[in-house]
Structure 1
């Protein structure tokens, strides 16, 4: 916009020079008044500050720039996350009361030393659980953040139930609360790590710290509300086991339902194995690529979900072959940046990645593995893409019961080379992010090229 102050100041009428906005929630105009004064005029009365208590609430508890600064699924997820946090706060209070009763609070025959030892054993067991779980599953939490988040909340309810029931078994009380502490520390690792992964997904303006901080404020407010409600419930449940168990059951059902709705509301644009499998199946059957908003609601949320063909992505070479001839054949039959070793009898497929393999190469390698799974377990007669080729290779696979899938790998590579460019274009057009992925490859990489030549 061009503005000539000298000419405009000669006009005694009010002129709008420019407009200004604060996200999508506040707009204002700047006017030139007689005498050359620049005046700021909100489009709505009160836009110069907080127009209402609701505006103040949004500024305190929502990220700056909301809703443009977060993902579209942010509000739905946070609403259900708030409900589950409130329910968890209530059941947590019931568990705390039960544990305190179990360690002897209010019992004149109990000693401080016995209570202290029980508490130390409980915390120590939990610390060991935290270290063990982070070591064994830490690298998997990013790939299946929704599944692990739901798992953490289910395990949390189990731990709370154990604490509520522990006083009924005084001989095993210490053992029960130690196991409960072990579970709760696993919950802490899984819940905290997946919360960070979801926060990274929700932050759209490099504002992960702000989103995380506001999430913490929301949780603090909810926990405060839970504490106030707990103050009213504690006198009622102090000596009433039936009411305690009833309230636990009621709020646990609410907690689990809210958690399910929360993780189901999350719409991830990055591909993990479950989402890639869903998208590929639909692509082969319909010729179209599902968008994130369609594929995410179909994604399994239980950790028990496993692909029928066991896949090792980023496998070390020595675990898949010790034969120079087999390695040379794999180099001749596979893509330049990954090698597929398929063992039909064992139901396994191992992918060896090149050092220069990028995210698209990893997606292609995983797609190749799922194509082999389709030949083994899917009904390929329903496919509209490469139907005849897939049926031919499937028939060949049935006839070669003792082979390691070498010829099948070569055939499926040729099929994949024909369809993958269209598939990759469809992924990008549908809104999937292909520059990074959540397919969870191991860190092993092999360099089988020297001066541009394949070696063995």
Structure 2
């Protein structure tokens, strides 16, 4: 057995003439190659590997890449790290330009500048920026500003008790844990917009330095906080542990949906190593970006002044945004938020067919396939479900008629074959309430309201979403109820019960497919609600 590149040799110890082995003996050996020969051979092997497209030997650079690379990380790690490296270079270069613009705005280099006043303004803008970052961090766990909530408030104020219109769905902004890609783009936009404001500060005059620099510093702190908060979830997906199935997935509930087989164990996570190497890459990129920024600053500032700095920033900012988008695009997140679940369910139902017949072998989309279709641009609805699905609506909007309507919407977890409804004190109904508004002459698309009850688990969330998309497919493909003369309530209840039976029959297969391709279920890995979503609590439930 040879360990340590030929330095240590383990040999069995011979006991007498019988050649019996009684243990192991350590023998040190000398290397036949000189130091220069080893370096030359190592460099030649690296060059040959690069020509062949094999990057396995890159793992011998321990200060820059995770240990045992590429086997210890996700296959898309190289693409992610490369684009992040280029984006950090562009971002660092742009910050050098903005710093020079701020120094010019505060009066550094002019005879009329007061050193004490300039230093005081600089310190004050840093203090205001840090305070703004603290306030922003206190709201990050809620998923940021919920535009649907404020849109509803604005509509209520403007209508002032007049005609009420039905809410046309909402979408999930997500937190840094559930939607790190969107927050990573928020960070990049905040940093670049803040840098742009700093560059434009000299054009506004010295009296505008403090307000402009303070706002820009708030934006930078927001960007740094958003980037650091989203980095953990991204690195987890790229690490060894993130590329495997979870070790614990609510076994008591999983047994209901999956086959009786030994639980799948996860490998040891190297999240710390991936994070540390990312820090090393960021430092090197920052040093290179600073050098490039100094060169551009000296060139453009000396020749074109602030206009030249602004032109250089536009190019660097475009490169920063493009590299950031490309980097997070390839990250295969293994948790399910509303948008990723929308992609999975839409593909699954369309591939299985409208009726979701039993016995059709099919796999759900993998995290890598979903990553290719995922949309994560800030403040933009990621998919068309915002037009027909509302998650977390209040009870008064779901059941304006009172308790009788609520009782009609309660569904037993297991179909009993009759039309009876469970009492409010029963524990056997679904942990969600689904109200269906079928298409009509005034509303051709229809509408679905989904609200979860307190205590709903990841499996309950999946059941509610699967039921909603099944009802949506039913309304789009079955035209029997579109021409029915019955009331909207009766049609909605009919669709609700029919699709609930289909969901109950197909749910075990769907859960098994999700786990087979690597999606994490359990321990809060499935989130679909937005910041203003409600959860209902029924007494004695």
> What TM-score do the two structures reach when normalised by structure 2?
0.67
Q: What's the counterpart of residue 93 of structure 1?
A: 96
Q: 1:349 to 1:41 in 2, by over 3 A?
A: farther
Q: 1:89 to 1:375 in 2, by over 3 A?
A: farther
Distance 2:510 2:7 in 1: 46
Distance 2:33 2:122 in 1: 58
Contact 1:19 1:30 in 2 (8 A): yes
Cα deviation digits, residues 265-290 of structure 1 (max 9, x gap): 11112222111111111111112422
Q: What's the counterpart of residue 414 of structure 1?
A: 501
Q: 1:392 to 1:31 in 2, by over 3 A?
A: farther
Q: What's the counterpart of residue 342 of structure 1?
A: 435
Distance 1:392 1:39 in 2: 84
Q: What's the counterpart of residue 152 of structure 2?
A: none
Give secondary structure in 2 for the equivalent of 1:434.
Answer: coil
Cα deviation digits, residues 94-135 of structure 1 (max 9, x gap): 001101111111122222354345334433442343234333
Q: What's the counterpart of residue 223 of structure 1?
A: 286
Q: What's the counterpart of residue 209 of structure 2?
A: 173
User: Alignment length, in residue pairs?
Assistant: 415
Aligned residue runs from structure 1 range 38-437, under 5 A: 38-39=26-27, 52=42, 58-139=61-142, 140-170=175-205, 171-203=207-239, 204=241, 205-239=268-302, 240-241=304-305, 242-287=307-352, 288=362, 289-303=364-378, 304-306=380-382, 307-313=386-392, 320-321=398-399, 323-332=402-411, 336-342=429-435, 344=437, 347=447, 349-355=449-455, 357-374=456-473, 380-381=476-477, 390-392=478-480, 395=482, 400-401=487-488, 405-436=492-523, 437=525
> What TM-score do the two structures reach when normalised by structure 1?
0.78
Q: 1:375 to 1:94 in 2, by over 3 A?
A: farther
Query: Does 330-339 or 226-235 show the bigger shift?
Result: 330-339
Distance 1:183 1:39 in 2: 61
RMSD of the alignment, in Å? 3.7
Residue 363 of structure 1: CA displacement? 1.8
Distance 1:428 1:162 in 2: 47
Distance 2:67 2:484 in 1: 56
Query: Does 87-96 or 163-172 show the bigger shift?
Result: 163-172
Give secondary structure in 2 for the equivalent of 1:32.
Answer: strand
Residue 231 of structure 1: CA displacement? 3.2
Q: What's the counterpart of residue 32 of structure 1?
A: 11
Q: 1:89 to 1:398 in 2, by over 3 A?
A: farther
Q: 1:316 to 1:334 in 2, by over 3 A?
A: farther
Instruction: Compare relative contact order (CA 8 Å, sep 6+) and give the higher one, 1 or 2.
Output: 2
Which structure 2 segments of 5+ residues have no match?
15-23, 44-56, 143-174, 242-267, 353-361, 415-428, 438-442
Contact 1:87 1:254 in 2 (8 A): yes
Contact 1:90 1:230 in 2 (8 A): yes
Identify the structure with the greater helix proportion: 1
Cα deviation digits, residues 220-256 of structure 1 (max 9, x gap): 1111122222333332133323432332122122111
Contact 2:84 2:323 in 1 (8 A): yes
